[in-house]
Amino acid sequence: MSFYKNLNKYKNNIAAISETGEEITYGEADCISDELYSEIGHRTLVFCLCENTLGTLLGYISFLKNNIVTFMVDKDINEQMLSELVLTYRPEYLWMSESKSSCILTQFLQLELSEVYTGYGYVLYKTGIQETFELNPQLALLLTTSGSTGSPKLVRQSYKNIDSNAAAIVQYLKIDESERPITTLPMNYTYGLSIINSHLLAGATILLTTKTLLQKEFWQFFRDREATSFGGVPYTYEMLKKLRFFNMNLPSLKTLTQAGGRLSTELAMEFAVYSRNTGKRFFVMYGQTEATARMSYLPHEYSIEKCGSMGIAIPGGKFRIVGEAGETISDANISGELVYEGPNVTLGYAEAGEDLKKGDEFGGILYTGDVVMRDDEGFYYITGRKKRFIKLFGNRINLDETERLLKDIVADCACAGQDDKMKIYITAPGKEEEVRNYIAGITGINPLGFEVILIDKIPKNEAGKTIYSNL
């Protein structure tokens, strides 16, 4: 079932509440989506500059319902990057906030934008671009990989991908129309968007806020509107601990979900124990944009017993582990690359406008690039990233594992480099020598193989993931 095609199933339910108190029902969202589409009238490509507001949500629903391909992009994207993406993919329309100046595109591209629709703080602009690209009939959505912005490499998602993943999430999280998730992640990030999709499918009410966890207005809105759940990446949970989340009084909260990278086992255990003691559910999950959003989940009842695990495949999906020669690994506790198969595996990538006409290149199978092992009971554990390895003096070193080891002595760090030289970036002055000696002692590798570099802060994207290319 498609949530965007069946809005009237819950027509009297409130679909969303904004931080300003504005409410919209499913029935109203359905009418507005048709009204917006009447200004376009045909299948085409739209760039949606996203923020967690009613304007973004209503545009997104309208475009999906009416078979308009949408590229979801951060509203704060660098102006030059946005211009390059417009040049690359040639959208016929832009859907953007009234507060976002349209002169950014007239300045960089000399486009003659014409305003054709205004509503809920958003404006639909016709770009005036005449020669647009052919769109594959299956293509529904374009997203950047891992929540990054500015890269011309996009993931092509189909209607089948979106529908199947939303249905699977509703099933394993047991989402119903009484739920009230609050936005903590951007809509242009696959995890944040999956929360929107799954809750709209269930007829729930989404609490839309542009505020962050660090702002008191976020928590006031949370309490006033009785939020029942939120999702976060590892950085979110690190911030929650610093904010003394465990001491907060949040009686409406029922469910916490985590994805977007591996949460440290210690922190995962703290949230698992907190949730168990307070009668809440804590789900650790795993996914990639290339699989629409989610591929696995750890059932909350196993959050302590199997702490550190990414769990099991979502309904409708299945995993296998392959070795370096491509052989399937059937035995437990042996590492190999994780391969996922399911209807949510996307069509493939786009790196140029001509790619938008391509069909399904993945064939429902995704080689994730993550190295995992499976225990005797069928639960999976990430042990590293296939491409995040270097060789130091002949020793194969897992950069992700090194980062986890170093977090015992430094709060934040990032490891990169090439064979025979690992670069360790830290933000703690005076710790350089200690870090070098610590990791050399653990690995047994000559300290000359490690270069420790002090920087002001570790570069992260809006999803809280380290941007290694910026180091």
Q: What is the mean pLDDT of the chain?
A: 92
Answer with the residue of higher pLDDT: 77 or 395. Answer: 77
- C-alpha closest to that of 40 among 66, 20, 17, 15: 66
Q: What pLDDT, on the 0 to 100 scale, is given for residue 204?
A: 98
The answer to whether residue 390 scores a pLDDT higher than 90 is no
pLDDT given for residue 304 in this prediction: 98
pLDDT at 405 exceeding the cut of 90: no
pLDDT at site 147: 43
* Least trusted range by pLDDT, from 70-74, 361-365, 395-399: 395-399
**pLDDT by residue (tens digit) across 251-262?**
999 999 999 888
Query: What are the tokens at 220?
Result: 């006031």
Instruction: Determine which of 38-52, 96-110, 161-175, 409-423 has the lowest per-residue pLDDT on average.
Output: 96-110
- Bigger pLDDT: 314 or 106? 314
pTM: 0.86
C-alpha–C-alpha distance, residues 341 and 333, integer Å: 21
Sheet holding 421-426, edge to edge: 413-418, 421-426, 450-454
Q: Which long-range contacts (CB under 8 A, 24 or more apart) does 208-211 make?
A: 208/16, 208/17, 208/18, 208/19, 208/52, 208/53, 208/54, 208/57, 208/183, 209/18, 209/19, 209/52, 209/182, 209/183, 210/19, 210/51, 210/52, 210/53, 211/19
Query: Tell me, which fold does domain 388-470 have in CATH?
Result: GMP Synthetase; Chain A, domain 3 (3.30.300)
pLDDT at 150 over 50: no
Give the pLDDT of residue 149: 43
* Contact between residue 335 and residue 373 where contact means Cβ atoms under 8 Å apart: yes
Residue 215 and residue 245 in contact, taking contact as beta carbons nearer than 8 Å:
no
Burial class of residue 119 in the structure, from the number of CB atoms within 10 Å of its CB (0-12 exposed, 13-18 middle, 19+ buried)? middle
pLDDT range class, residue 167, cuts 50, 70, 90? very high
CATH of domain 7-382: 3.40.50.12780
Q: Name the residue among 234, 174, 237, 230 with its Cα closest to residue 206.
A: 230
Chain segment 210-237, per-residue pLDDT in tens: 999 999 999 999 999 999 999 998 889 9
Least reliable range by pLDDT among 375-379, 387-391, 432-436: 387-391
Q: Sketch the domain layout of the chain as residue ranges.
A: 7-382, 388-470
Q: Measured between alpha carbons, how far is 7 from 58 in angstroms, rounded to an integer? A: 12
426-440: per-residue pLDDT in tens? 999 999 999 999 998
